Structure 1
Amino acid sequence: MIDISVKTLGTLARGLRVVEAIAEHQPIGLTDLSRVLDEDKSALQRTLATLHDAGWIRPLPDSPPRWEVSVKPLVVAGRALTSSPLPARARPLLGSLRDATGETAHLALVDQSTIAVVDVAEGKQIVRTALQVGQVHPPETSAAGRAICAQLAPDTRAALASDPAALLTDDEYTQIRTRGWSLCEGAVQPGSTSIGAAVLDSSGNPIGAVIVSGPDTRLTPDRYAEIGALVRDTAAELGGGRQH
């Protein structure tokens, strides 16, 4: 983590917390939002007015109004992902992985303690795994989380997890690291199986994961090794090929 030794802006931090809370609970009114954030109503009302004026939130035609997030965060996120080098390089690779496996392929990146989907190449089958950009993967049980945790030291792994007791054993993470891919059989989404591989930076640190997901009726155990190898190779190409 970079240490920036300057005084932070409390009003800006409050505004960001408000946007996040509205996104999680929308539509939500002032009274409920005040309760969720444990904030004073008058100060919160000024923050809402400022965010509305800047175009980040919008009121529903209720009285009193309830608030929801506008499309502006989506526009900003879309521009960021389009211009970010890693997702841009991943897009054609995800498409190729989707075509090779017949299943949905996606990229998830690590941001502090969150593993979030940043791009998806949806499978072309009528019945397929559906994911949304911004969806969060649990570190303990998801294929992405298990692949990433396998590349971390035990103490760092525990710090990433929201429920350290749900982590796999050290031997299981060693097995994932050795073969290069992880497995999730219905632990996150019943009836869906996912296979993931960590994307490593130039220093060998995990920065994300490439994942293939599909219904367990098609992504069956006899296909695990084949798809695992494809996912592993795609992640290695995206991360520069370094594995350990």
Structure 2
Amino acid sequence: MSVIAKVSAILDAFTADDRGVGFAELQRRTGLAKATLHRLTAELVAARLLDRVDGKFHLSGHLFQLGMRASVERGLIEVATPFLEDLYERTHETVHLGLREGAEVVYVAKMGGHRQAKAPSRLGGRMPLHATAIGKALLAFAPAAVRTSFLKGPLARLAPRTITAPRILRGQLDEAVEKGVTFEFEESAVGIVCVGAPVLDRRDLAVAAVSVAGPVTRFQPQKHATAVKAAAAGIAATLARRQGLLE
């Protein structure tokens, strides 16, 4: 492995749920030799890409600042935020904005009030596409080759109701293409339901997706499908106008 690859392995070893990772655990996750890991973590701390507190490593605030400079995500979040805020005011449930990276959705924005549901989503975290409404929206409007490859399986089970049969998932994706909206019913976690919609580009491919999630005891996702679709369409139209001004 090159030095860059080793550094990338260290940074990628952290998850959204970590509250500090010890050296032994970081070595287990990366598979790097102890001496190599000692040297690289020291250099990363010196470069302000990692923090070390009470013997545990954390991704640094400086790294977060660098990430926020990424043009695609920053521009998207700037455009999407007013629509996400409106969607939250309409629903008072947890609102997400996500991007597809490989076979996963990456959550780049999340809004929720004091009573937000205990959903498995985390800002900066990842979930498999097939287990969430936002992931299904991204997959339904992904390039055909991506969708075909994903449907070959296997589909991991996250909860008792996770869709693990490619045939059933294919049917849901076909319906999503027709109606422009996706649903999740306790597929990522017991007790959570969700509705999602894609943010489409000029080729009708998803550049992002929006969703609203809430507890099954009070949230009825079908009732909010129109609002979620409208928010996603508003984000898409604003992005298209911005792009048109740049051309």
TM-score past 0.5 threshold: yes
Contact 1:106 1:211 in 2 (8 A): yes
Distance 1:234 1:86, change over 3 A: same
Separation in 2, partners of 1:153, 1:83 = 20
1:14 is matched with 6
CA gap 1:80/1:197 in 2 versus in 1, 3 angstroms: same
The within-5 A match list for 1:99-114 is 99-114=89-104
Unaligned runs of 5+ in 1: 1-8
- Select which of 117, 139, 151 maps to 1:128: 117
- CA displacement at 1:155 relative to structure 2: 4.0
Structure 1, 111-120 or 153-162: larger mean CA deviation: 153-162
Asked if structure 2 preserves the Cα contact closer than 8 Å seen for 1:140 and 1:164, the reply is: no
Considering only CA atoms, is the larger Rg found in Structure 1 or Structure 2?
Answer: 1
Spell out the pairing of 1:182-197 with structure 2 (5 A cutoff): 182-197=182-197
- The answer on whether the counterparts of 1:191 and 1:215 sit within 8 Å (CA) in structure 2 is yes
Q: Distance in 2 between matches of 1:129 and 1:28?
A: 27
The alpha-carbon deviation at position 125 of structure 1 amounts to 5.7
Q: Distance in 1 between matches of 2:72 and 2:143?
A: 32
Checking the alignment, whether the CA contact within 8 Å between 1:158 and 1:164 is kept in structure 2 is: no
In the other structure, the counterpart of 2:136 is: 146
Residue type matched to 2:215 in 1? P
> Which residue of the partner structure matches residue 22 of structure 2?
28
Let me know the Cα RMSD of the aligned residues.
Answer: 2.9
Residues 83 and 236 of structure 1, relative CA distance in 2, 3 Å threshold = closer
Check if 1:238 corresponds to 2:231.
no
> In the alignment, what sits opposite 1:97?
87
In the alignment, the residues of structure 1 paired with residue 187 and residue 109 of structure 2 have an alpha-carbon distance, to the nearest angstrom, of: 22
Moved more, 66-75 or 92-101: 66-75
Report the Cα offset of residue 90 of structure 1: 0.3
After TM superposition, the score normalised by the length of structure 2 is 0.79
Report the 3-state secondary structure (helix = DSSP H, G, I; strand = E; otherwise coil) of the residue aligned with 2:129.
coil
2:34 corresponds to: 41
Q: C-alpha distance in 2, partners of 1:182/1:84?
A: 25
* Counterpart among 48, 55, 80 of residue 55 in structure 1: 48
3-state SS of the aligned residue for 1:89? helix
| SS at structure 1 position matched to 2:134 | helix
Percent of aligned pairs sharing the same letter: 23
Q: Which amino acid aligns with 2:212?
A: V
- Of 9-18 and 155-164, deviating more is 155-164
Q: Which runs of 5+ in 2 are unaligned?
A: 156-163, 241-247
Matches of 1:153 and 1:108 in 2, distance apart?
A: 17
Q: 1:115 aligns with which of 105, 113, 122?
A: 105
d(CA) in 2 for partners of 1:135, 1:35: 20
Q: Deviations over 1:17-73 (max 9, x none)?
A: 1122245764221x4433432222222222112101101223333xxx443323222
Give the letter aligned to residue 28 of structure 1: G
Q: Does the 8 Å CA contact 2:93/2:116 hold for their aligned counterparts?
A: no
Could you say what secondary structure the match of 2:224 adopts?
helix
Question: Is 1:139–1:161's contact at 8 Å kept on the other side of the alignment?
Answer: no
2: distance between equivalents of 1:173 and 1:22? 32
Q: Deviations over 1:205-225 (max 9, x none)?
A: 1122100111112213xx50x
- Contact 2:50–2:60 at 8 Å: present in 1 too? yes
Match of 2:205 in 1: 205
